[in-house]
Structure 1
Amino acid sequence: MTFDDVRTLALTWPEVTDGTSYGTPALKVRGKLLTRLKEDGESIVVPGIEPDERAMLMEAQPKIFYFTDHYRDWPTVLVRLPRARRQTVEGLLLRRWRTLASKKALKAFESLSER
């Protein structure tokens, strides 16, 4: 996967917009960070992932999920896009999106998903 793949996927969800964060391309939901491209150009930063879940992800798929010392104390996981499958990234980002989207957007998305 690439960030362009992530962008194409996430922009189909309600309330997702293109933006920037710390000088890198980012995707936001109602002004809050969904994900952004890490400075290495190949990984994404996904906030809202608590340390226990991050540890589980890293243990299960260490070639995909990781963090750096900078993110040690933050509820964040990094994802190596070239090694990740679409369904893995989509599931993680969709869960994050659900925490940021409005109730109206969630309802609209659910009705689309039921079709």
Structure 2
Amino acid sequence: MSGEDDVRRIALALPEVTERPCYGRPAFYASGRIFARLHDMPDVLVLWLASAEHGQELRDGDPERFFTTDHYQGHASVLVRLGLVEATELSELLDEAWRLRAPRRLTGPGPDTRV
């Protein structure tokens, strides 16, 4: 299972990622664009996605691990219960969020799915 230290370790290993506060909580930025933030709720991560529909798919597929709140309803994000996610999956989730928000010069060629 994962925790805040895993988020920090994985996120900061990605190219040009910085950590700084957002709403008083640690957040991770790809060249200045936020892609993940630790939520006020303990052991919960806010993760940016390609679309609100992708978030709905994750929540429908595993509502114990992925959820939302009224504040994020309709937003291209999902909340992740870190204690229910293995580090390998967390790494994949963070990498995907980073790729959506990072500049193309860092992510390489391919379709531009950044939001």
With the shorter chain as reference, the TM-score category is 0.7 to 0.9
Relative to structure 1, is the Cα distance of residues 86 and 50 closer, same or farther in structure 2, using a 3 angstrom cutoff? Answer: same
1:7 equivalent to 2:8? Answer yes
| Stretch moving more, 51-60 or 98-107 | 98-107
1:79 equivalent to 2:80? Answer yes
Q: Matched residue of 2:64: which SS?
A: coil
User: Where does structure 1 lack aligned partners over 5 or more consecutive residues?
Assistant: 108-115
**Partner deviation per Cα, 1:48-79 (whole Å, 9 max, x = no partner):** 34222112111221110000111112111000
User: Where does structure 2 lack aligned partners over 5 or more consecutive residues?
Assistant: 109-115
CA distance in 2, matches of 1:49, 1:76: 8
CA distance in 1, matches of 2:65, 2:89: 10
Decide whether the 8 Å contact of 1:65 with 1:80 is kept in 2. Answer: yes
Instruction: Please report how far the alpha carbon of residue 29 of structure 1 lies from its aligned counterpart in structure 2 after TM superposition.
Output: 0.8
Counterpart residue identity of residue 42, structure 2: G
Q: Matched residue of 1:78: which SS?
A: strand
Paired-residue identity, %:
33
Q: Matched residue of 2:71: which SS?
A: helix
Q: Which is higher, the Rg of structure 1 or of structure 2?
A: 1
Where relative contact order (Cα < 8 A, 6+ residues apart) is larger, the structure is 2
Greater share of helix residues, 1 or 2? 1
Decide whether the 8 Å contact of 2:66 with 2:80 is kept in 1. Answer: yes
| Stretch moving more, 97-106 or 1-10 | 97-106
Partner residue, 2:93:
92
CA distance in 2, matches of 1:80, 1:59: 15
